[in-house]
């Protein structure tokens, strides 16, 4: 029989004895797989590589530093042999066969009684690939499938109803849809409901199933579609109805994104919540413009400030060393620059304003504290924008 004609099966190895014979890197990979499956793992080999030794030191396996003995097969449920010596592997496999044990041979797929596929695990999905005993081909296929699952190109949504709803607070990144994390993209592909912000990567919404409920909670200046309390109630309500909810935000949900308030509302209602960090625009947008927020010999620190949440303590801000990064502060640009100078920042300190960072419409305006407000007005600079104050602002691509 060949691997292609075998019978595929998933095994529950929790607390079941599994034997791995061999001490090299291949045996270490086989060991790791059954350890992760919760098995009681015994490794037999006269010498072992560092990964196996470390696993024994951590108490994950029982290590027997000696040659294989057929009594090692007693009470086992599964056997892996990967010694690199054909005669030893044949002996292990023959002993397992006599005891009606499944034995996976690393040296000869055609002579084996069982085969280990290449496995991709994405969320709750497990995909096993066997390419007729060709491990390289199976690994390549597995990796390609995993990428498509992680990026939402293959369907991940469940079709069965459930009483266990869930909320994922997903950071969508700084603007470019390709900068959402693979974890965030996977959660989006699994969603039944998506509650999206104005600055979230909205182009990804076009790839959702037609029956996914999409709710716009975007907040634009002077035009809030939903209050924060209404958003909290909405995501809790949908989750309590057994639906998988993604709260899709721009940047990172915990960087001036009120994600902590939404997480608290979910926990108070007994709703499971997962936070998926995103790439914050405070750092990514300057980087996309070639502006480092820290640079050796220039500055070793930075501060991120909300430009629209109430009054700002300009005396404290002006006294800070390093780069100042203002989010949502474009409407107060003239006030910010004037007050920083009043409280001691030099008038010729460089300032950069980056619009639509990481997108094809990205535009950078560079001037000084004295001139940036007028220059931005001349150019018609608009939100979304990140303001960078400090010597690094002059180091970009503008």
Active site residues: 197, 219
For 67, the 3-state DSSP assignment is: coil
CA gap 81, 26 in Å, rounded: 9
Q: Are 357 and 330 in contact (CB under 8 A)?
A: no
For 89, the 3-state DSSP assignment is: helix
CA gap 169, 277 in Å, rounded: 8
For 173, the 3-state DSSP assignment is: strand
Q: Are 276 and 356 in contact (CB under 8 A)?
A: no
CA gap 351, 365 in Å, rounded: 8
CA gap 227, 46 in Å, rounded: 66
- For 219-265, give the DSSP string: EETTEESS-HHHHHHHHHHHHHTT-EEEEEESB-TTSSS-HHHHHHH
CA 79 to chain centroid: 34
Q: Are 306 and 327 in contact (CB under 8 A)?
A: yes
CA gap 206, 116 in Å, rounded: 38
β-strand pairing of 40-44 with 61-64: parallel
Q: Are 192 and 157 in contact (CB under 8 A)?
A: yes
């Amino acid at each position: 029989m060949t691997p292609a004609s075998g019978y595929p099966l998933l095994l529950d190895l929790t607390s079941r004895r599994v034997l791995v014979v061999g001490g090299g890197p291949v045996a270490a990979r086989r060991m790791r797989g059954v350890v992760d499956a919760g098995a009681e793992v015994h490794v037999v080999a006269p010498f072992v590589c560092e990964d196996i030794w470390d696993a024994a030191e951590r108490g994950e396996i029982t290590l027997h530093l000696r040659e294989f003995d057929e009594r090692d097969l007693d009470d086992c449920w599964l056997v892996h042999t990967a010694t690199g010596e054909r005669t030893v592997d044949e002996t292990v496999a023959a002993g397992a066969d006599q005891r009606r044990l499944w034995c996976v041979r690393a040296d000869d797929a055609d002579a084996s009684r069982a085969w280990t596929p290449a496995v991709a695990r994405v969320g709750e999905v497990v995909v096993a690939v066997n390419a007729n005993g060709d491990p390289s081909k199976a690994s390549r296929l597995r990796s390609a499938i995993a990428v498509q699952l992680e990026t939402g190109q293959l369907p991940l949504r469940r079709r069965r109803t459930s009483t266990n709803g869930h909320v994922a607070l997903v950071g969508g990144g700084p603007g470019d849809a390709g900068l959402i994390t693979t974890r965030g993209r996977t959660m989006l592909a699994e969603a039944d409901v998506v509650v999206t912000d104005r600055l979230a990567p909205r182009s990804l919404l076009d790839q959702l199933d037609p029956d996914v409920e999409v709710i716009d909670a975007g907040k634009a200046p002077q035009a809030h579609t939903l209050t924060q309390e209404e958003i909290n109630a909405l995501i809790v309500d949908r989750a309590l109805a057994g639906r998988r909810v993604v709260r899709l935000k721009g940047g990172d949900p915990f960087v001036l994104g009120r994600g902590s308030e939404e997480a608290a509302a979910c926990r108070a209602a007994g709703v499971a919540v997962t936070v998926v960090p995103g790439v914050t625009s405070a750092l990514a947008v300057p980087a996309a413009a070639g502006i480092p927020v820290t640079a050796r010999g220039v500055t070793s620190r930075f501060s991120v400030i909300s430009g629209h949440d109430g009054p700002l303590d300009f005396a404290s801000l002006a006294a800070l060393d390093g780069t100042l990064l203002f989010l949502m502060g474009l409407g107060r640009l003239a006030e910010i620059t004037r007050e920083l100078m009043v409280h001691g920042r030099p008038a010729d300190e460089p300032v950069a304003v980056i619009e639509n960072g990481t997108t094809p419409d990205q535009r950078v305006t560079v001037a000084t504290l004295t001139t940036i407000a007028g220059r931005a007005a001349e150019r018609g600079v608009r939100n979304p924008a990140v303001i960078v104050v400090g010597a690094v602002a002059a180091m970009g691509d503008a």
